[in-house]
């Protein structure tokens, strides 16, 4: 049996390219296109599109801003759930991608 080929790709580069693409579509027109329109264009889920935009720092909504404010203050997901009345999954969907974000902050 043949050994599978190794995949040589840089996950950070792939993530950055995806972020750049989503941000460029989102910011290309005013008013911004809906998350569903962007998701359909890229073959993604609208929640993933929103999370990418939040990670890039360009998406604003009352709940996203509040969840991120509480998170920056050091509140846990459970505390944010109680403060916002949102489910665990909902709270996580309004926070930036953590692994990618932390790696980017180390290189700045």
Question: What tens digit of pLDDT does each residue of 32-81 get?
Answer: 999 999 999 999 999 999 999 999 999 999 999 999 999 999 999 999 99
More confident residue, 48 or 2: 48
Q: What percent of the chain has pLDDT over 90?
A: 69
More confident residue, 30 or 19: 19
Residue 15: C-alpha distances to residues 22, 26, 84, 99 (Å) = 11, 16, 29, 11
Using CB atoms within 10 A of its CB, is residue 63 exposed (0-12), middle (13-18) or buried (19+)? Answer: middle
pLDDT at 106: 45
Confidence (pTM): 0.80
More confident residue, 14 or 83: 83
pLDDT at 104: 52
User: What is the DSSP code string of 61-95?
Assistant: -HHHHHHHHHHHTT--HHHHHHHHT--HHHHHHTS
Q: Please state, rounded to an integer, the average pLDDT across all residues of the chain.
A: 87
């Amino acid at each position: 049996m043949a050994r599978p080929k190794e995949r040589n790709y840089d996950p950070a580069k792939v993530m950055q390219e995806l972020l750049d693409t989503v941000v460029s579509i989102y910011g290309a027109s005013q008013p911004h296109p809906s998350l569903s329109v962007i998701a359909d264009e890229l073959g993604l889920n609208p929640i993933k599109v929103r999370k990418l935009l939040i990670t890039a720092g360009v998406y604003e909504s009352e709940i996203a801003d509040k969840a991120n404010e509480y998170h920056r203050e050091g509140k846990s997901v459970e505390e944010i759930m109680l403060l916002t009345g949102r489910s665990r999954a909902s709270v996580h969907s309004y926070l930036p991608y953590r692994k990618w974000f932390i790696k980017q902050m180390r290189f700045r």
